Structure 1
Amino acid sequence: MKRYIKAAFHFSNSETNGFFAMIMLMLLLCIAPRAYKLYTQYYSKPLDHSKDIILLEKNLLLLKENARKVDLIDINMVTAQDLESISGLKQKLAVRIINYRNKLGGFVSLDQYKEVYGLSVHLQRRLMKQTTISEKYIPKQLSLNGSSFKAWVAHPYISPAIAKAIVDYRNHKQFTTIDDIEKLPVYHLNWAKKMMPYLSL
């Protein structure tokens, strides 16, 4: 390009260099403001990390859930000694929980911790967080047509009056479905909901 400028204007080498430098300076002055504007528009724009944050939160949640699942204790499979590993749960209470579980025929809901005598609300919540019940678990059941009066009254949800009503009913007529308990004179809906998992024909 310098050669064409020198030939066109009959410049010396120094004049050509000076003229070329002036042209380049003018171009730079014209281009630089626009280039700077484009640069600031691109790099000054705040980056949107919202999607990254949402993904990170989901991954953290999954990690917490997985960690919780690994640490959970199956309340229907443990011993009193196993329960003592839970902070704040002494031997006496651990034994009481296991005894109550055995009387029930197994826990079917973590809310049943509320029925254990002497178990504080704080410990109930801690147990609910650190224990679980298998979805496939089936508790020990009492037979409406076969279990003895003694077996019935041994269950925490069965009073002597209810046990007698069950025995009296089947002495006259066999239970054909679990729903037949609705015909008992002592029937109560809240009691039936609690007792249903522990009943069989």
Structure 2
Amino acid sequence: MDLKNIRSYFKFSKEQSAGVFFLFVIMLVLQLGYFFVDGNSVKENGLDKQKWLAIQSEFDALKNDRSSVSYKKYSFNPNFITDYKGYKLGMSVQEIDRLLAYRKENKYVNSAKEFQNVTQISDSLLNVIAPLFKFPDWVKDKKEHKEYVDYKNKPFIKFDKKEKAVLADINKATQEDLIKVYGIGEVISKRILNMKESLGGFVSMDQMNEVWGLSPEVIDNLNSHFKIESNSSLKKIDINNASLKEISRFIYFKYPLSKEIITYRSMNGDFKNIEDLIKIKGFPVEKANIIALYLDFN
């Protein structure tokens, strides 16, 4: 190839030379910009990575701390196991149902062995959950006091006359009087007094069955210490003139039943006796004899 012809390719006019120069400058600026921008991103990525590593280490530390935490297991009264609680303990549906059916009869289990007899759970499950059982203090005390006494070596004592216990009026009993009864503490005594105050007084010792937390054994102890005397100061409800608000305050009449009583009275006239009230839907018939003593039909 002729050298002169080659040189002709590199001959530019003034305008062409300026264009080539500016093109070169633009390419140089782009290259520098790409270098610096990419470098910054690398630095930022490096910083972000360090931050994430620090956060990850914190998560790992928290995870290790959580795995080392030992959760405290709380004791509970097995008489009040719910469906969910029984499921969490590993009981089957049938075993839970047996306990609930037993409780519906107003009966209580007072030992781990009795719990197994009622629910029919396996020995292995009983060994796991029995250490968590907590029975009332009076159950424990009752067992401790049932010690064998050898009366053969005891001197024979002859009683000429059996001393008869004097029963007090439960409507006049104080909290201190109630706590003296075996199986009743501060909480139960307050429930009894609160119920007496809301009713204006008890009319039957059978009402002790309605105090939550009283077992049949403790109720027997109450009956051996207290009785119901005539309560002339008992303020009765004028069932034929009382308002809805006044009737609904009576603990045996819930608000829906109180509305039914008002409706029945407005449509059928005054109530003559408790038999008229029994006709109302939702009336607690099993408590009619007690409720009647709190009502005035005149």
1:170, distance to aligned residue in structure 2 (A): 2.7
Q: What does 1:21-32 align with in structure 2 at a 5 Å threshold?
A: none
Distance 2:189 2:281 in 1: 37
CA RMSD of aligned residues (A): 2.5
Using structure 1 for the length normalisation, give the TM-score.
Answer: 0.58
Structure 1 residues 183 and 110: alpha-carbon distance in aligned structure 2, compared to 1, 3 A threshold:
closer
Distance 1:95 1:151 in 2: 24
Distance 1:169 1:197 in 2: 21
Determine the structure 2 residue equivalent to 1:101.
Answer: 196
1:192, distance to aligned residue in structure 2 (A): 2.2
Q: Does 1:192 align with 2:291?
A: no
Determine the structure 1 residue equivalent to 2:231.
Answer: 137
1:141 partner amino acid: K
Q: 1:105·1:198 contact (CA, 8 Å) conserved in 2?
A: no
Distance 1:143 1:174 in 2: 14
1:75 partner amino acid: I
Distance 1:75 1:159 in 2: 26
1:82, distance to aligned residue in structure 2 (A): 2.7
Q: 2:203·2:290 contact (CA, 8 Å) conserved in 1?
A: no
| CA deviation vs aligned residue, 1:170-198 (integer Å, no higher than 9, x gap) | 33444151243244344453242231111
1:84 partner amino acid: I
| CA deviation vs aligned residue, 1:90-137 (integer Å, no higher than 9, x gap) | 121111101112223321221211110012222211111101111x22
Determine the structure 2 residue equivalent to 1:122.
Answer: 217
Using structure 2 for the length normalisation, give the TM-score.
Answer: 0.41
- Note the residue ranges of structure 2 that are not aligned, 5 or more in a row: 1-157
Distance 2:242 2:174 in 1: 27
Equivalences, count: 138
Determine helix, strand or coil for the equivalent of 1:87.
coil
Q: What does 1:143-158 align with in structure 2 at a 5 Å threshold?
A: 143-158=238-253
Q: Does 1:163 align with 2:258?
A: yes
Counterpart of 1:112 (choices 207, 210, 235) is 207
2:258 partner amino acid: A
Structure 1 residues 83 and 182: alpha-carbon distance in aligned structure 2, compared to 1, 3 A threshold:
closer
Q: 2:200·2:235 contact (CA, 8 Å) conserved in 1?
A: yes
Structure 1 residues 149 and 79: alpha-carbon distance in aligned structure 2, compared to 1, 3 A threshold:
farther
Distance 1:137 1:182 in 2: 25
Counterpart of 1:64 (choices 141, 146, 163) is 163
Distance 2:283 2:252 in 1: 12
Q: 2:178·2:184 contact (CA, 8 Å) conserved in 1?
A: yes
Determine helix, strand or coil for the equivalent of 2:221.
helix
1:158 partner amino acid: F
Aligned-residue sequence identity (percent) comes to 29
- Note the residue ranges of structure 1 that are not aligned, 5 or more in a row: 1-55
